[in-house]
Structure 1
């Protein structure tokens, strides 16, 4: 591959962000054009650099990938977004892929595997790499959609409007999530979801 792949690395852990950037920098056909620690910074960097690939952490300190992906594509429609996570079975993966991410790379991938993922996503437009075994998420992707909107402060009516669901359906999803996470109210479900690493 003759063209250099321009990459933006987005992760809220400096050790991960800098380590990945250093790993990628060792490949002659890859250039790290930016780094970002949160969603706001990622959008600014993406708009400025218009990278070929954005390597996006699934959970940032200020947002979840499913909410960041559309914002990145809005400022750089041609960028490919690869999710980057230690938890490939996380409930946030499916909504982020549905929002426009092109694939997923696990954080314990080797430098050569990470390079292969970047090359493949640029060439083919998607990456369907090896899925590692992991504990499955306690909630379904749709329940996760409702959960993250609850965490963002949405009412049942607002959540229904945003997801195209009836009020009763939203209540049913929320009831299921609260049961699965052993929560009695909205505040507790958010706290327990964070404890499970879902938010």
Structure 2
């Protein structure tokens, strides 16, 4: 029987070791390796070509959506499951929109983790019901709005009260690029300013 290979990406060794221990007992899954950062994950995926990547939502060097986009470019066949301790974190939706096939909370029981990863490997999308219960609706709303992932991400950070320079620092974008994305989002939402855009995005179920 061919065992599916899994790469565990987390900056905490205890999490990497814990997941490895949980999956070691399953005959269908095999730990191919681990990585402690987004850049290390991209390098290891290129080397190991794992079937599934269990990816921490909060890494020290890159935003999860950017890591996911790069992982998909390097190894498009891999399934990606986001692993997080923060069930209400808005970054979960951005990660799912970037191409992750699932999202699980770190307190998931070992048997549930194995079952969820098996489902993802079968082609299912698996999201812990405690995480953004309306994620599916929000994803549909995003599609209807016409906003790109970048426009949505910039608008989401603006809704959290971040200024353009702060958004630029959070996303690694140039300030002028942030301004361009924000203006484009305003135009698509039919808003005259960021306050109105945030209000309209909330009414549409985007925030």
TM range (shorter): 0.7 to 0.9
- 2:38 alignment counterpart: 39
- Listed one character per residue, the Cα deviations across residues 154-174 of structure 1 (whole Å, up to 9, x for unaligned) are 34430244577257879727x
Correspondences of 1:1-199 after superposition (within 5 Å): 2-131=1-130, 143-144=155-156, 149-161=168-180, 165=184, 172=194
- Whether the aligned pair in 2 keeps the contact of 1:117 and 1:129 (CA below 8 Å) is no
Aligned to 1:96, what secondary structure does the other structure show?
helix
- Whether the aligned pair in 1 keeps the contact of 2:8 and 2:16 (CA below 8 Å) is yes
- Whether the aligned pair in 2 keeps the contact of 1:94 and 1:141 (CA below 8 Å) is no
**Structure-1 separation of matches of 2:99 and 2:170:** 22
Report the RMSD for the aligned CA atoms in angstroms.
2.9
- Whether the aligned pair in 2 keeps the contact of 1:66 and 1:95 (CA below 8 Å) is yes
- Whether the aligned pair in 1 keeps the contact of 2:105 and 2:128 (CA below 8 Å) is no
The runs of at least 4 aligned residues of structure 1 exceeding 3 Å deviation read 140-150, 152-156, 160-164, 166-171
Q: TM-score, normalised by structure 2?
A: 0.71
**Structure-2 separation of matches of 1:110 and 1:132:** 15
**Structure-1 separation of matches of 2:185 and 2:114:** 44
Report the alpha carbon displacement of residue 143 of structure 1 after superposing the two structures with TM: 3.5
Aligned to 1:165, what secondary structure does the other structure show?
helix
Sort the Cα spacing of 1:133 and 1:69 in 2 relative to 1 into closer, same or farther, 3 A: closer
Unaligned 5+ segments in structure 1 are: 135-139, 177-199
Sort the Cα spacing of 1:167 and 1:124 in 2 relative to 1 into closer, same or farther, 3 A: closer
Aligned to 1:124, what secondary structure does the other structure show?
coil
- Whether the aligned pair in 2 keeps the contact of 1:104 and 1:129 (CA below 8 Å) is yes
- Listed one character per residue, the Cα deviations across residues 52-72 of structure 1 (whole Å, up to 9, x for unaligned) are 110000010101211100010
Aligned to 1:104, what secondary structure does the other structure show?
strand
**Structure-1 separation of matches of 2:85 and 2:63:** 14
- Whether the aligned pair in 1 keeps the contact of 2:55 and 2:81 (CA below 8 Å) is yes
